[in-house]
Amino acid sequence: MTFNIRTSGANDEENAWPKRRELVSDTILSFSPHVIGLQEALSEQIEYLEASLPDYRWLGVDRGLNGGTGLSEHTPIFYRHTELVPIESGNFWLSSTPDSPTGSGWRRNVSRIVTWARFHHLSTNQRFYVFNTHLTLRRGQRQVDSARMIALRAASMPNGTVVIVTGDFNAIAETSDTWLEATGSTLRDAWLIADSRYGPERTSNDFLPPELANEGRIDWILTAGPLQVRSVRTVIDQKNGRFPSDHYPVVAKIEIY
């Protein structure tokens, strides 16, 4: 699952974090995915989800290394800890200095981040990588460069390596230069290769129903390696007219060979 949960730092009034946080955790629990890539997660949001999702653990750091305050979001990976073991993990920044959050970022002093992990599935001994990110809202070369960095990391893996990329890419799938760069070599868009697709091809919603949501898919799951995407779904669950976030989560059922 990829899920931009909308930062708790915004002034969202009736859609503020305390009024929808339970709906966020309920939405996750209704699918119980093995792995969840979250975006816009501040420390207080992670603490709540950690407490409300006891079957999950998480890994990652905030992109500014300041404790996850202000604009310093995490892109954490939550995983079902009784079934998956992270045997490697780390982070890199989407800038000319990928090992550091500051220095020579492409625009801001603190660059966007990718959190990654290599998981071992206990019951099958399958291993796979997950990369999770949130690209800048500003479309253009900086987005394309970020997509290229992620695609190159995926392409550098040995043949036969399973890679799953989750994220809010802030660019429309199938038409944007960012999507074309991301899917131009190794990575494939799960929505396009899935055996079955459910829900609208819209993921940014401004807390509104699908018929009023923004056009296009900007939240993607990308894949590489020996696997089959059995299904993918844009999740439009709501309660009494309230949506869990200003993005619909996307969940995929993936079979690894």
Residue 200 sits at the vertex; the CA angle it makes with 26 and 195, to the nearest 5 degrees, is 90
Summarised one tens digit per residue, pLDDT across range 54-74 is 999 999 999 888 776 666 799
Contacts of 145 (CB under 8 A, 6+ apart): 94, 106
* Number of independent structural domains in the chain: 1
What was the pLDDT predicted at 139? 82
Domain that holds residue 155: 2-256
Contact 166, 76 (CB under 8 A): no
Is pLDDT at 33 greater than 60 in this prediction? yes
What was the pLDDT predicted at 96? 85
Is pLDDT at 140 greater than 90 in this prediction? no
Which CATH number does the domain housing residue 181 bear?
3.60.10.10
What was the pLDDT predicted at 105? 44
Helix (H) or strand (E) holding 59: strand 56-59
What was the pLDDT predicted at 65? 82
Q: What is the C-alpha separation between 67 and 82, in angstroms, rounded?
A: 28
Q: What is the DSSP letter of 118?
A: E
pTM, rounded to two decimals = 0.95
Band the pLDDT of 5: cuts 50, 70, 90: very high
- What mean pLDDT is predicted for residues 23-37? 98
Contact 22, 5 (CB under 8 A): no
What was the pLDDT predicted at 194? 98
Distance of CA 52 to the CA centre of its chain: 19
- What mean pLDDT is predicted for residues 245-256? 98
Contacts of 83 (CB under 8 A, 6+ apart): 34, 121, 122, 123
